[in-house]
Every structure is written in C-alpha cells, then in structure tokens.
Structure 1
Amino acid sequence: MAVTWFFYHRPHHLLFFSIIFFVLPCIAYSLAEPEALLKLKESFKNAEALNSWTPDTAPCARNTQWAGLICADGIVTGLRLGGMGLAGEIDTKVLAEIKGLRTMSFANNNFSGPMPEFNTLGPVKGLYLSGNQFTGEIPSNFFVKMESLRKLWLSNNKFTGNIPPSLATIPNLLELHLEDNGFSGSIPVINQSTLVSLNMSNNKLEGEVPASMSKFDASSFAGNAGLCGGKLGKECAKPEPPPAASTTPNDNNNNNNNNNGGNGSNSKGNGGSSKVVVAVSVASAVVLVALIVLFFVKSRRKGEEEHFDMPGKENIEKADHPDSVELNVSEIKQKEVVVDRPSSSKRTGNSSRKGSNNGKGGGGMAELVMLNEEKGVFGLPDLMKAAAEVLGNGGLGSSYKAVMANGFAVVVKRMREMNGMGKDGFDAEMRRFGNLRHWNILTPLAYHYRKEEKLLIYEYIPKSSLLYILHGDRGPSHDELDWPARLKIIQGTAKGLAYIHTEFASCDVPHGNLKSSNILLGPDYEPLLSDFAFGPLINTANVAQALFAYKAPEAAEHGRVSPKCDVYCLGIIILETLTGKFPSQYLNNGKGGLDVIQWVRSAISEGRESELLDPEISSTKGSLGEMEKLLHIGAACTESNPNQRLDMREAVTRIEQVQVLGSDHVPHTSHAPTLREGVGELPGETRLESNTIGSRSGRLDGDNDAAFSIS
C-alpha cells in the first residue's frame, strides 16, 4: 500500500524508476557487446583469424575494427566469418546479447553437429551456413519465430530428414538455398511471392514439385531422382485405379466357391485374375508404344520451330540421338538470287565464289561465297549431301550441324531477320568479317545471300559454348572448369571484345550480342566470340528483340544504346562464370534463372563476396582475393547507370590485371564495400597468352573439329 501511495502522489518518481529499470539495461547490453563477442570467440576452435578481437580495443572503432564485423554507427550489425577455418560451437546465447545483429555468415568453415538454435534470434534477416558439416534433422517448427528472415543459405552441409514446413511461415523470404544436403521426403508448399532465389538440387527429395514453385527452372531441383512435375520434364505417375470387379459367370462361380471355402475355386480365381492382369499389361504396352511413336513424329515436325527460351534449351541439353534432318538448301531458287560466277580462278580480296564439284554451281543453284579457304572449299551441293542435325533456334534464326562427305563439320546458321542491308552492303560487311584477325573471335568461313534469308557457315567447335559447359554439362569438360580456366575465359573474352570495339568502332553497339551461348571454347578453354557486329544487318524493327545488348537498362527503358551496353553484357558474363548461376537476364519471359546482378550487389553490400563464388572454385588456395576482385569488376560493369559503369578500356585493363594466384589474406573492410572497391590497378600485370597462333577464322590451329552454339 505504501508503495502504491508513493507512486500515486509522486508520478515523477515513477518515471524516474522506469528509466532505471528499462533504459539502463539497454545501455548495459551495448557496453557488454565486446564481452559477448569475446565469449563467442572462446567457443570457436582455430580462431587465429580473429586475433584482432582483443579486450583492449572496441569492436567498431574506426581504425581498429575487429575482423569479420559489419558495423553501423558504432553498433555491430553483422558477422561475416566465412572462410576463416573456424570450428567448434556457435554460442547462440551469446549472439542473443548482440542486439543489433541482423546478418550472420559462418559459411565455408568446419562447424559440425546439429543445427544451432538460431531460431532464438528473432530479428536476424540473413543466415549463411553453407559449406560446413552440419548434420541431422532440422525441427519442423524451427523457423516459426524467425519472421524477419530474408535470406537462408544451408547448402553444402549434411542435413537430413524433411525440409522444415515452417519455412512457409517466413513472410518475406527472398533466398532459400538447401542444395547438396541429404534432405528427403516431399517438398513443402512454400508460396511466398517474395522468393526470387531457390535451390534444392542434389538431395533425396521425392514427389511432385509444388505448383507454387513452377516459376523456378529445372536446375533448382536437379539431382533428386524421385522428384517429378514442374519444369523437370518428368511427369508424375498417376495413382492406378482399383481393378474393376468382374461380372462374368465364372467369376460369380468363383466368388460362390470362395464363400464356401473351396480350395479348387481359389485356383480358378487366381487363374482368371492372372488373365486379366496379362490382358491389361499387353493393352498398356500397346498404348505406350503408340504414344512414343506419336511423340517422336510430332517432335520431328516441331524440331525446327521450337523456341529456346529456358536454360537447357539454348544448346544446354544436347539430345543423345539428334534427329537426322535434311538441310533444305534446295529451296533457294535460281530466279531469287543473283549469281556472280567468276570467269576464271581470279579472286577478289580474301573471298571467292565457289562450290564443290570443281567450283560448279550445282545445277544452277546460287553458290556460297567463301571468306576463308584454309579449311578447304565447299559449296551448297556439299551441304545438300551432308547429314545435318538441328542444334536449335535463337533470336537470329536456326542452327544446324552438317558433316560433309570428307568428314569436315560445319555449323550452318539460317538468318531470317538480316534484311537491314541490300546485297552490296551485305557483301561488303561479310568481306569485312573475312579480314578480321584475332584468336578470340570466330568469323564465318562462307556465306550465301538470299533476299528472304541468309546462310552463314562457321566451323563446328566440339567443346561447345560456355553456357553449356557451365550449366548443362557435368562431364570432364565441366570438371576441368577450374579457377585458372574460368579466368582464362573471362580474360580472353575481354580481349576479343576489345578487338571488336576497335574494328567496329563506328557501330552504336560493336558486339551487340555477347552472352555465354555465343562464347565458344577451344580445346584449351581459349574463348572464341561469335555472332558479333550484326546490328547493322538486322531489320530495325527486330534488332531490340534479337540482340542481348538491348537488355541493358538504358536500352530497355529509354532506347539508348552505346558501347557500354556491351560492357553490361561483359559484366553478366563475369558474374555468371564466377558464381556458376544461370542469369535470368537471358530469358525472355523473366521466369527462371537468377538475377545475378541484384544478387551480387546485395551480397557485396553485406560483405559476403566469398559466398557468391561457385563452390567448385572457391576452395582454390591463394586465389580468393583475386576472385573477389574480379567479382567487383563484374559488378562495376553492370551498374544500371551507364555513367557509373566502367568503360571498355578500363574494364579490360582491370580484368587483365587479375592473377591466377594472389595473396592468401583476404582483406576485411571496415564497412560494406562499394561496387568499385577492390579493383584498383596492380603494380604487375599478368596476361594469359595462347601458345598457338590463331587461324584466319579466329579459332585455334590444330583444332580439326570445332563446335558451335546458337545465338
């Protein structure tokens, strides 16, 4: 009573005591932050990377900030302890005392055991545990109280059991990565509209992919043999209906005998059931064979008309037995073309107009114009006799592989939208291509002009494209795609692009169509750029849809194109190659893939660069700093504002300065780095030179077979 009377007559004392009991504890927590962090360090093993965590310094001091911390206004808001070789336990009770903590990264360390109790840390927005040895099941209700969580990365661990259904209760989940674990059972329905990045590949999941996840491409669920539906291309088996009851007299008799318990009637019933089963099996087999034949016939008819919008359809997934098709060049009628027949063997410039059969035109048919005769001379009759297979369709036309009678393989591209110039102008541009010399570009061997469509003939490059090796191939070529090979590809691409910018400087967008499907790989992973400088040849009405450079923000939103659109495309190549992720920017419908630009920008702002790297290269000793440096260059090339984007010369210079091996020490910045940080010039310069001299076609000598990918 006395206490009540005291506060009633002296309310200002109540305010005073409220301050004492509620405000002072908050102050105490901020003062205890260093102690909490030091206690966290004590729970770790192999914590030499945290030697800067000492009692005599402040965690967020301007000049002595502790390694691995992200600070804002003197408060610890994030832990980025990835790749530090840490082990032991993660003391979540200590983490709960760091009230400003919002992001935590323990990725690529040696932590093990069950999932720590991170669910006691409600305000956390980002949790990154990839690349450890965590094991066991995660409780089904683990994420119920983690309503603030935006990004969850549990990939490359040893988790087992069902995927926690409580993930569906996180209202604003953006990224969910569970790949390379041992999760089993069915996929819970996770239908947050905010989810933009999902990967559940390489687990033991079964059943149908929920319809709410249909926007994600097949690679998000690959490596789960028991999954079906969605975009996996595998239909789910429908439950078989119960067998219909037989109403024949024999069956009725069998039923009566069964009711009487007769043994002989049992054998009769079993015989009747066996006949029914055999009949149903035979009928099902006949229907199945008929469906397969029907599907095969339809697929042959549609083979050339399909559009390859999704990853895996742009030369990623190669058919095991491609259909043999006829390259129908006989449709080119003599009256539709002007044939310039040389009166002698005299040639003009570097091109000649020849066909096979001693240069004859093949029954009055228009001839090919040879731009490069180093691989021999051939004509339309040779292509007509060649067995060809469809490689696919792209924004510019259809592509075919043709193997001629002498065994030489070429790729024939039928260009439907190349009517931007008349015949004389087109011939001049082709001769310009024939004069190019650089070992990182691939130019046509020959061409054929027709008013309605054109044929461009290239060498066939067997290793195929960067797109296929990165996202579609899981064989030896993919295994060889280590950090030195990827750096070689990026540096060679930059050199080839710089050469194109020099030779086609008058074009608004010198290359115009740089993407991983248009980067062919030679035998030693030397890149060959193809399908460049087509802008002036394409119909004005179709150029924006046909060329990838027009997806740069300034072009897509305002119709403004410049050489920096090519730089934007180069940046996507860098990010795609380093992360191993398929860019959603390649897709016309915006569904599937990953927005690598936004994903990388978000991670850089949180100081998580090392977590972006493809796990197949991130473990390369002594190179992590160089990889992150190149990652920053890619981010700087993809700035949405072209005025803030690197120009071509600066981008190439910085890319060439990246080395295969760098320092083992990865510097920790005292703030969230900007996109341009970490890409300053180095005192030395490393260049990856090829030991072979490029041929006139732009490919490497000694590569007898070559392979091509569609645009």
Structure 2
Amino acid sequence: MSLPRSSCYFLSLICILSSLYITPSLSDDTSYAKSLIKFKQSLTNTTMLDNDWKEPLVQNLCTSNKPNWIGCLCLNGSFVGLRLENMGLGGVIDVESLSELPLFSLSVMHNHFSGPFPKDINKLGKLRSLYLENNSFSGEIHDDAFNGMKAMRKVVLGYNLFTGKIPMSLLKLPKLVDLEVQNNQFEGRIPDFWQGNLTVNFSYNKLEGAIPDHLSNQNASFFFGNNNLCGKPLQPCKPKKYSISKIAFIVAAVVGIALAAFIILFLICRKREKPLKYKKSIDKYQTEEPNYKNNEYGKLYFVRNDRERFDLEELLRASAEVLGSGSFGSSYKAVLFSGQAYVVRRFRQMSNVGKEDFYEHMRRLGRLSHPNLLPLVGFYYRKEEKLLITDYVENGSLASHLHGKRSPNQPGLDWPTRLRIIKGVAKGLAYLYKELPTITVPHGHLKSSNVLLNKKYEPILSDYALIPVINKDHAQQFTVAYKSPESTKNDHVTRKTDVWSLGILILELLTGRFPANYLKQGRGPSSDLATWVNSVVREEWTGEVFDKDMNMGRHGEGQMLRLLKIGMCCCEWDIQKRWDLREAVEKIEELKERDSDDDDDYSSYVSEGDLYSSRAMTDEGFSFSKA
C-alpha cells in the first residue's frame, strides 16, 4: 500500500536531504528572503503570502523544521524548498529568482498557473522534486527541458494541458523514481525509460505504440485512456498489417513450399486428424480477453494523488459501518487497515452516460480542490453499479445538528457558527460555478444533509455535480434542483436553480425548521418553508421566524435580518427577479456577527420594542410571491 502524497512528500524530502549538513547564516536567510520576495512579484493573487512574504525580513526563515514564512519547507533549521499548494496563485514561475535559492523541492500543485512549462527550469540544478499538478500549464515541453538535472527524483505534471511528445531529457535523469504525466494531451510513443524502481502514470493522454518492456510491470491503470497503447500490462499489440504487394510477395514465396508439403502432410494426417497447434492459443486468447476487461472494471480508479492507494479487495475487507440510505443509494464508512476512514457511496441509477464520459466527469470532479468541498478520492465502475469514494467527515451533517436529538448539555448552533457555515457554503458554491461553467446546475442537490461539518464546524459540500451522470427520471424524482419553481412550472432548471436551494438552506438555518417537501418523492417545489417565512414576515412579528436555539443577542439582530432578506431574495419565484449567485455571495460576505454601533441600516429594520415588523421587510423593496 502506498503512503498518502503528503506523507510521501516529506519522507522523500527527508531521505533526499538526510546526508546533507547545512547551517545557514543570518546573511543567507536574508538573501533567501529577498529572492522569495522577488519571486512573489512574478505571481498573481498572492493574498495567502502577503502576511509573511514582505518587509521587514524575518531573521530566520526556519526554526528547526518549522517555517517562519508560509509555504517554505525546512529541515534542521535550513530552508530547502517551497510548497505553495492550494493558494489560488497564478502568474509566472520566475526561475531566475528561484535559482538564487538552495531549492531541493518545488510544489505549486492545485493553483491557477497557465501558459508554457517554466522556462529554463534546469537552472535549478539542486532540484530533487518538481510538482506542477492540477494547474493549466499548456503547450509542448522542450526535449532538453530537464538536461543537467541529475539530482531530480520526482516529476509530477498531471492534470494540465501539456501537448507534444514526452521530453527525451527525462531519460537523462539517473535518479528518477516517480514520473506522473496523466490527464494531459501528450502524444507519440512512450520513451524507453531505463531507470530502476521507476513508477510512472501515463493515463489519459494521446500516446500510442508499444509500451516499453522496462515498464511492463507497472499497474495497467497507469496506461488507461490512451486509445493506441498496447503491450504488457495492456492487451498484446496486434501484428503489423502488411500492404497488398507485400502480402502477394509472401504468398508467392511460400506457395511452392506449401504445395510440396501438402502431399506429405496429407499422407501423415489422413489417418488421424489433429488440431492445429495454434488453435489452443486462439481459444485461450479469446477467453482471456473478457477477463482483461472484467479486471479493468473491477479496479478502483483514483482521481487524486494526495491519498493513499488501496485495491477493491482491501476495501471489501475493511471494517464497515452503515451511515444511511438516501435517495441516490447507501453510504458506508470503511476503515482501512491503516486506520484511514473513507465514505463509500453506492449508486445504481448512474447509467445516464457511457463509460468514457463517466470517467471523464469523475476525473473532472477529482481536479476540484476547495476547503468547502468534499473531495472525490476515487470510484469503482460497472455498468449496473458505481461506487464513489470520499473522505469521511466526523462531525456529521448540518441537518443532524439542526434537527437531530442532542444531549441535555449540548448547545445548539449559535448565530456566529451559523453565519460561518452559510459563508462557507456560499464560497463552495461560487467555486463550483467558476470551475464547472458548462454544467447548468453545478451543485444540483444542495440541502442541509449534504452540508457536512468538520471539527471546527466549517461546512463541506457533498453530492455536488452529479446530475449529469444520474438517470434523468431518477434525478427529477429525488434531486433538490427539480423541486425548484422553474422545474415544476417550465420543466427545466437554470443557472439560478442552485440559488433557490441556497435560499431554502438559509431559511432552514435561520428558522431551525426542516423543508418538509424535501422528504417527498417526485417533483414539486420546496416552497412550504419559504411560504411560511413569507407569511410570518408579512402578517406577524418577524422575530418569530428565528430559531431560539441560536441564542441570538440584540447586537446581532440586524445581521440576522439581513441574512433573512438574502434568503428570501434567493427564493423569489420569478426567476428574472431572483438574485444570481454572484450577488447572493457578495451580500453574504458583507454580513458580520455583530451589528456596528453606527449601523444606520439597523434602525430601518427594527420597529418599536426592538422587534422586527413586516413593514420593515416590505419597505426594503423586494417581493416574495408565486409567479
């Protein structure tokens, strides 16, 4: 079993550097810091670096193995590399600035870099590992890109847009042990890699030809998705097809021999007919080919490289706990021998697309990376059944915290916690809308049971972007998107459908009431909660809407009312009047836990006696009525 990427990352780094003895001076660290600031200037969206990477310079970049600047890697008090992952960075990798550093490892995985492969990367002569995975780098990589990098051990380029041939200079890296170029558009033949103990991943490119013999012991899944690859560990290469002229020449050459031998063979064989030797070989091949396909379908396919690898048999042997049975299928908690826990979702209504489209959609989801999204780890494919594997989140769902039984001493979710939850939900939705622009409903099933909470009560969205692969009749019967007014009235969903679901979630969070229509099968709007809120706001004191378990204080009432207004604007029946997601997210981001002392708007929301009135809501100029 392989270790998780994070563990392998540091273990390999320690092994690489264990023989080095580096004692940086203060002047060294000052020089390194200046180079890092220079490097930062070539980047965009550096918000996560701004607090540390600035003047005045720190005295030491590292304290033992702990960095004093975010993103730095340290070993025994020495700066040894950069790990700038999941920071939203873009711009250019300024190799000139980096060449001034003792850089042994460089990782910019899961960011927004684009354009060509970093120019003159081989100027980083000490580099042992390079991680560029999950960006938008594109174009060809020059054949000599890695010339002279004799210390390089790991090259990870997966999930980008690289084209052209795999650079031959990779063959000149004597210490190379890990090469990952999956999910790009590389073409041509795989070079004849010779390095011992080399692990590769060439899956889902445009490669062709025979797999080199030295790589025949690799896992077959590392070559999937290349239509014209053959040879071990894939199917055998078919014999070359000769031209008609060559065939005629060969036939003419053997006809004489065949005629001469025919009489002899006839005399030998007429008494006893024997099967031709090659017949068994053909029969064997015909029975083995389906087995190969079954093996392919029977394996787990991983869409992330930062999780441990395990096979289906190990998953089946894991201790399992039934978590529940929902509209899509059953969920199980599986704890592997290593102690790592995963959730396995079983789906039977996922034959809306073919195998290749399903694989591509799952790989697309695997490339998503956001703190408010539950990452897809892997999947298992069979035509009649699919398994989706995700991380396990211990603290349960928002629905269980809002509506489940609590112990006598367990408090409910207070207002600051609920505000942080809805802000995180909004950020996760905004990310989905940005990364999945071609999907009409990027989430499609947003409800409180699909909002998980980690130990810090930060929200993590699950069950997102599954409508494209779910059978349409099943999706229409069970998914939240098809309970929106536009689906009921006009039989279609739009980019604003998720906004309706967000509005219902806001109302549920504020009122503590569960939208009962979500429990009903079939189509029909989840308007019961929204209608109730509207009636209370217009006919009674608005203060009756809010869940008493929020322990709301007077200083947060104005902010709660603002969120209530946002929820109702998201639940507008008229889709033309309904807010779009961008406006909803912006308004949610403006909310605070407490009202400001000089908040002029607060007085407009509060009637005499510090209670909200329906007039205050209707005076704000929005309507909530069925179109």
* Greater C-alpha radius of gyration: 1
Q: Which structure has more RCO (C-alpha within 8 Å, separation ≥ 6)?
A: 1
Q: What TM-score comes out, normalization by structure 1 length?
A: 0.44
